[in-house]
Amino acid sequence: MSKSCDGAKTEWPELVGCTIKEAKEKIKADRPDLKVVIVPVGSIVTQEIDLNRVRVWVDKVAKVPKIG
């Protein structure tokens, strides 16, 4: 499990294979300060890093959700 230097969780590998709803709820439970963005796999997204955003790649969670 990845954590930032302040101890806050930054990745959720345990969510791969979960439903979108389950993933969003778990991330919000762990880090209510973050904005969870649902993104279909294959979508074009911007490359800027946003430390307040977690992208959840879907059908089901297809990639490890992480800040950036």
CATH number of residue 30's parent domain: 3.30.10.10
37 within domain boundaries: yes
Q: What is the pLDDT of residue 1?
A: 59
Instruction: Please check whether residue 64 lies inside any domain of the structure.
Output: no
Q: In terms of residue numbers, what domain contains 33?
A: 12-56
pLDDT score at 24: 96
**Domain count of the fold of the chain:** 1
Q: What pLDDT was estimated at residue 8?
A: 87
Nearest to 13 by CA among 43, 54, 59: 54
Q: Would you say residue 61 lies in a domain?
A: no
Say if residues 34 and 52 touch (Cβ distance below 8 Å). yes
Per-residue pLDDT of the chain (68 residues; tens, 9 = 90+): 566 667 789 999 999 989 899 999 999 999 999 999 999 988 999 999 999 999 999 875 767 888 88
What integer pLDDT is reported at residue 62 of this predicted model?
67
Confidence (pLDDT) at 12:
96
Asked if residue 17 is part of any domain, the answer here is yes
